[in-house]
Amino acid sequence: MLKSTKSDHLESIALAPIYLYDRCDSLEAVKETGKTIERLAEYKIISLDYDIPLKNGDYDDYKTSDVLAYFKETITEGMVNPDFIFNTPALQLGSMALTGFGQEILEQYESLLTE
């Protein structure tokens, strides 16, 4: 997420959703995984909730990821322009979960594997 020191009301979503397999995942890999997650959410297989981070969730890899470092660097480079609005990176923690429909699909898939 991008925020602005010029206004508390300005926010922009960037690179959401994100799931890291490793803190060193490339930007391209993160974008591709994000597209897959978005499709699963569109099909109501999973739910995404940006207001409820996982309790005791280990978000350290996200906070120290190469992608976040690149994101921060890009914002720093943009700040040389006085009209640059979104000048503050913010990590928005959330969660995803299998929906009831997703659970049904998983159970059907597992039954096909055991036949």
Query: pLDDT by residue (tens digit) across 32-53?
Result: 999 999 999 999 999 999 888 8
Q: Could you tell me the two tokens for 4? A: 């602005």
The amino acid present at 60, given as its one-letter code, is: D
- What is residue 43's DSSP assignment? T
**Looking at the predicted structure, is the pLDDT value of residue 106 above 70?**
yes
Query: pLDDT by residue (tens digit) across 49-71?
Result: 988 888 888 889 988 999 888 88
Q: Cα–Cα distances in Å, from 22 out to 2, 39, 57, 67?
A: 23, 21, 15, 11
Which residues face 2 on adjacent strands?
Answer: 12, 89
Q: What is the pTM of this model?
A: 0.76
Query: pLDDT by residue (tens digit) across 74-95?
Result: 887 777 877 777 777 777 888 9
